[in-house]
């Protein structure tokens, strides 16, 4: 082609990146790898191939991690952990800094190796994956440095088992390893079977910077190896991958006491209003759905366009799709690289081929091999399979909307809640919509922005926990003060006679009204000397359903101001104070211990959470782009809480106050042996302006009620502070909607506030 022809076509010539140094590195290992355990590579065991998906050629042979390998890695991590945790933050920071520097020094090698193994365009691995991974280590060096001064009450968890996917191999490794190490944990990490190479190169970097052996262990293998890590003697499991595997991991870890974070799939809406800068919104879409061939958990895969501009927008989009270059990922001019594996290509192809709804537009053609063309399917209904299912490929599905209210409905019509994008030139509209979207991240006039300073993670079936930012650190720490689980508190027994001429049975409290239990059963509560004190209702599954429905109906509470919620909590305290002697006497009758101190502590708890109601603010994260991330604290939704048995009033008031102060609605199950203080509280709540449905009170058996509460799909979180051991039941039953669960005892105010909120990061353009 001569210069004139080039000017005429403006076509790009090939600009291949040299794969030589990466191949040389593979050769230094004879293209065969063992695991990295206790600071050294093991001898390769049973092996499998890792391939270059763009060419189908084998890059290296990788070891399949056996039980023995996992045990050895966990043992090495366990041995190294106390010493690692004992280092000062400064010393750990220096290691993290050294890792970041080494990644930077070898960034070209990492980028090329990543592209070879994964098939993503070199432009992306070079400009996004590898620099972001470095940034993560730099940023977390800072967190290590600041841990002692800023998180003085937190301690490391111990050994973390980490299982990561293939779509961002090194970046996901950085997201997992950097916070774990910064907070004094050691790790056993398994890269995905398709993309183990950069993790192995990273292991070499760890050895080079002199990281103490056993602090980072890399075990390769497939899902079976992943399962072994999940089941091993680790203190935490951190997983990123598919929602189905996330569910299995939730089940496998239920009741084990292991801390768990899950970063799962998504079907993120990409909303374009009619006043948006359409050309920018089209460019944004290229990043949203064709970045990494759409194999991105937060991909903007569901395009929602305002009706009036839909045709214009689709025309612009199709023209842009035609300009995307598909092919050899090592070519610096390529936009769309290879799909990770023929299996994934087959999944994408089948999902599209089996769809007969809407209109399909494909750019291309895609080259032969593991490639799929950029695809747009318009005119789908919101319930269409492709609008609901994660495709995890370069396939964009779309529908139109008319009003802002409608687009919020459509955007939230998904079981996921990872990310959302909003394009409009109207700041009022953007900031009106952002809080209404059910998702962990919202990007305004931008998309797919990620940074170590801003938390990343979702709600609903997109999982729980955050990675990055201050909020990400809590997933790698626990309270320094560890309180042993209390022995189960048993009720007092008596002879069955009430001894009172007027029989009184405390009802349940549902939707602001006292309600008879559905089953019609009640139970006598006795004092320490066997005196009958009164009967309480025995709630059942139907009562839970009614209470959850009432709580769902009180959504307006979540939109009230912190100021209003504070006023109401103060008012509850005022009304409780007016009856403090009566409550103190009730506590004394039930437990035999003087009750006034507990009443006073309950009043103070109400004041404390009233104080926090309008002060537990979010943050504004400075991120190294033209923008800021507003880390907004939002209520979790409907929280079910099984209350502390030993402190019948305080153990009820504290979680209730924390939950409602932060804008949640609560289904509270009172202390099982001593429920009467909570039932007395109904009258206090009734006279304190607490909106109907915001607090619902059930009484009965914790063991019977917990699984129903945990299985209910309209409950967003279940807390157990009960003395009945319920972890297994609650965590197993929670897998349906992957709700947040929290099994604890004597929680601190800070822990309660953290559990009562979810951080949503809203990225807005800011500055020059």
Q: Least CB distance from residue 348 to ligand NAI, whole Å? A: 8
Report in angstroms how near the CB of residue 734 gets to ligand NAI at its nearest. 18
Could you tell me the smallest distance in angstroms from the CB atom of residue 168 to ligand NAI? 8
The residues of the shown chain that bind ligand NAI, judged by CB under 6 A, are: 163-167, 190, 192-193, 222-223, 226-227, 230, 240-242, 245, 248-249, 264-265, 297, 344, 347, 390, 392
How far apart are the C-alpha atoms of 583 and 710, rounded to whole Å?
A: 31
Closest Cα partner for 455 from 446, 445, 465? 465
Using the Cα atoms of residue 594, residue 599, residue 605 and residue 607 in order, give the sign of their dihedral: negative
Rounded Cα distance, 117 and 240, in Å: 19
Nearer to ligand NAI, 161 or 707 (CB): 161
* Residue 270 CB-density burial (10 A; 0-12 exposed, 13-18 middle, 19+ buried): buried
d(CA 557, CA 400): 31
C-beta nearest to ligand NAI: residue: 226
Task: Compare residues 227 and 604 and give the one whose CB is closer to ligand NAI.
Answer: 227
**Which residue's CB is nearer to ligand NAI, number 419 or number 569?**
419
Nearest of 414, 439, 408, 460 to residue 716 by alpha carbon: 460
Spatial separation of the C-alpha atoms in residues 353 and 356, rounded to whole Å: 8
Furthest C-alpha separation in the chain: 107
3-state secondary structure 734-746: CCCCCCEEEECCC
Extract the tokens encoding 338: 């290879």
Nearest to 200 by CA among 210, 190, 209: 190
Phi, psi for residue 543 in degrees, rounded to 5: -65, -35
With contact defined as beta carbons under 8 Å apart, do 635 and 606 qualify? Answer: no
Choosing from 263, 390, 461, 758, the catalytic residue is 263
Partnered with residue 668 across adjacent β-strands are 641, 697
Nearer Cβ to ligand NAI, position 61 or 213? 61
Cα–Cα distance measured from residue 172 to residue 180, given in angstroms and rounded to the nearest whole number: 13
CA distances from 234 to 162, 248, 547, 699 (A): 10, 17, 37, 36
Q: State in angstroms the smallest separation of the CB of 239 from ligand NAI.
A: 7
The nearest distance, CB 578 to ligand NAI, in angstroms, is: 53
| Rounded least distance, CB 246 to ligand NAI, Å | 7
Rounded to whole angstroms, the Cα distance separating 498 from 533 reads 7
Distance CA 693, CA 552 (A): 8
Q: Which is nearer to ligand NAI, 242 or 523 (CB)?
A: 242
- Backbone torsion region of residue 496, taken as left when φ is above 0, otherwise alpha when ψ lies between -120 and 50, otherwise beta: left
First and final C-alpha spacing in the chain: 41
- CB-nearer residue toward ligand NAI: 51 or 540: 51
Least CB distance to ligand NAI at residue 624 (A): 23
Nearer to ligand NAI, 297 or 681 (CB): 297
Please state at what angle helix 89-105 crosses helix 130-150, rounded to 10 degrees.
170
Closest to ligand NAI by CB, 392 vs 557, is 392
Residue whose CB is less far from ligand NAI, 112 or 249: 249
Distance of CA 221 to the CA centre of its chain: 25
CB of 380 to ligand NAI, least distance (A): 19
Closest approach, Cβ 225 to ligand NAI, in A, equals: 7
Per residue, the 3-state secondary structure of 185-212, as one string, reads: CEEEEECCCCCCHHHHHHHHHHHHCCCC
Query: How far is residue 289's CA from residue 276's CA, in Å, rounded to a whole number?
Result: 18
The half-sphere exposure of 730 on its side-chain side, counting CA atoms within 13 A, is 28
Those residues with Cβ within 8 angstroms of residue 213's Cβ, 6 or more apart along the chain or in another chain: 38, 39, 40, 76, 80
Helix H or strand E encompassing 112: helix 107-118
CB-nearer residue toward ligand NAI: 462 or 575:
462
Q: Are strands 259-263 and 236-240 parallel, antiparallel or unpaired?
A: parallel
Of 180 and 192, nearer to ligand NAI (C-beta) is 192
Task: Count CB atoms within 10 A of the CB of residue 556.
Answer: 11
Cβ-based burial of 625 (10 A; exposed 0-12, middle 13-18, buried ≥19): middle
Minimum Å distance from CB 459 to ligand NAI? Answer: 14
By 3-state DSSP, what share of the chain in percent is helix, strand and coil, each rounded to 5?
45, 20, 35
Which residues does 59 contact at the CB level (< 8 Å), separation at least 6? Answer: 26, 31, 49, 50, 51, 52, 116, 117, 197
Q: Is 263 noted as a catalytic residue in this protein?
A: yes
Between 180 and 590, name the residue whose CB sits nearer to ligand NAI.
Answer: 180
Of the two residues 417 and 517, which places its CB atom closer to ligand NAI in the complex? 417
In angstroms, rounded to a whole number, what is the distance separating the alpha carbons of residues 672 and 679?
A: 12
Shortest CB 662 distance to ligand NAI, Å? 28
Cross-strand bridge partners of residue 479: 154
Q: Shortest approach of ligand NAI to residue 160 CB, angstroms? A: 14
Q: How far is the CB of 737 from ligand NAI (least distance, A)?
A: 17
Provide the annotated active-site residues.
263
């Amino acid at each position: 082609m001569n210069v004139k022809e080039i000017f005429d076509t403006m076509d790009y010539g090939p600009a291949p990146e040299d794969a030589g140094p990466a191949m040389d590195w593979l050769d230094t290992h004879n293209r065969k790898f063992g695991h990295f355990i206790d600071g050294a590579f093991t001898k390769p065991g049973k092996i499998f191939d890792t391939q270059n998906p763009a060419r189908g050629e084998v890059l290296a042979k990788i070891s399949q991690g056996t039980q023995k390998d996992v045990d050895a890695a966990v043992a090495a991590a366990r041995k190294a952990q106390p010493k690692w945790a004992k280092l000062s933050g400064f010393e750990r920071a220096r290691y993290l800094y050294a890792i970041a520097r080494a990644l930077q020094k070898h960034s070209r090698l990492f980028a090329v190796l990543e592209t070879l193994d994964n098939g993503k365009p070199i432009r992306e691995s070079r400009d996004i994956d590898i620099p972001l991974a470095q940034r993560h280590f730099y940023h977390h060096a800072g967190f290590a440095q600041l841990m002692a001064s800023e998180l003085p009450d937190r301690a490391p968890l111990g050994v973390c088992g980490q299982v990561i996917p293939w779509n961002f191999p090194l970046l996901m490794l950085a997201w997992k390893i950097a916070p774990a190490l910064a907070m004094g944990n050691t790790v056993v990490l398994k890269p995905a079977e398709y993309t183990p190479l950069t993790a192995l190169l990273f292991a070499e970097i760890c050895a080079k910077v002199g990281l103490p052996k056993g602090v980072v262990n890399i075990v390769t293998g497939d899902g079976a190896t992943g399962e072994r890590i999940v089941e091993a003697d680790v203190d935490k499991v951190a997983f990123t991958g598919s929602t189905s595997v996330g569910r299995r991991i939730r089940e496998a870890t239920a009741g084990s006491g292991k801390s768990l974070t899950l970063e799962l799939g998504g079907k993120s809406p990409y909303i374009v209003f009619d006043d948006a800068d359409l050309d920018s919104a089209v460019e944004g879409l290229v990043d949203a759905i064709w970045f990494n061939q759409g194999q991105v958990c937060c991909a903007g895969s569901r395009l929602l366009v305002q009706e009036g501009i839909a045709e214009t927008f689709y025309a612009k989009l199709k023209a842009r799709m035609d300009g995307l270059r598909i092919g050899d990922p090592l070519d610096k001019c390529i936009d769309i690289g290879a799909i990770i594996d023929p299996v994934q290509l087959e999944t994408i192809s089948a999902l599209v081929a089996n769809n007969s709804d809407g209109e399909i537009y494909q750019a291309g053609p895609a080259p032969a091999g593991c490639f799929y063309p950029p695809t747009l399917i318009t005119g789908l209904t919101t319930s269409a399979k492709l609008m609901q299912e994660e495709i995890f490929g370069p396939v964009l599905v779309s529908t139109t909307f008319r009003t802002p209210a409608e687009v919020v409905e459509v955007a939230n019509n998904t079981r996921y809640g990872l990310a959302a994008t909003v394009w409009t030139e109207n700041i009022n509209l953007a900031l009106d919509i952002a809080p209404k979207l059910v998702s962990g991240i919202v990007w305004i006039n931008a998309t797919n922005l990620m940074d170590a300073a801003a938390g990343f993670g979702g709600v609903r079936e997109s999982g729980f926990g955050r990675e990055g930012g201050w909020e990400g650190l809590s997933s790698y720490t626990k309270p320094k003060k560890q309180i042993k689980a209390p022995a189960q508190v048993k009720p007092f027994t008596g002879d069955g006679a009430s001894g009172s001429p007027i029989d009184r049975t405390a009802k349940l409290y549902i939707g602001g009204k006292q309600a008879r239990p559905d089953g019609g059963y009640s139970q006598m509560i006795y004092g320490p000397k066997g005196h009958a004190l009164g009967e309480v209702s025995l709630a059942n599954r139907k009562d839970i359903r009614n209470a959850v429905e009432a709580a769902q109906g009180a959504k307006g509470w979540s939109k009230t101001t912190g100021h209003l919620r504070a006023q109401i909590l103060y008012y509850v305290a005022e009304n409780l104070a007016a009856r403090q002697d009566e409550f103190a006497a009730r506590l004394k009758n039930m437990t035999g211990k003087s009750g006034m101190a507990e009443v006073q502590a309950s009043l103070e708890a109400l004041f404390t959470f009233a104080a926090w109601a309008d002060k537990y603010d979010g943050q504004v994260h400075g991120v190294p782009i033209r923008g800021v991330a507003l880390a907004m604290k939002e209520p979790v939704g409907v929280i079910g809480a099984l209350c502390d048995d030993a402190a019948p009033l305080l153990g009820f008031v504290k979680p209730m106050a924390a939950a409602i102060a932060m804008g949640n609605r609560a289904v509270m199950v009172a202390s099982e042996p001593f429920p009467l203080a909570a039932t007395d509280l109904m009258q206090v709540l009734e006279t304190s302006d607490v909106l109907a449905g915001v607090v619902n009170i059930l009484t009965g058996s914790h063991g019977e009620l917990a699984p129903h509460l945990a299985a209910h799909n309209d409950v967003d979180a279940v807390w157990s502070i009960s003395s009945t051991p319920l972890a297994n039941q609650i965590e197993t039953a929670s897998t349906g909607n992957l709700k947040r669960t929290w099994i604890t005892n004597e929680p601190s105010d800070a822990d309660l506030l953290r559990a009562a909120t979810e951080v949503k990061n809203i990225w807005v353009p800011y500055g020059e």
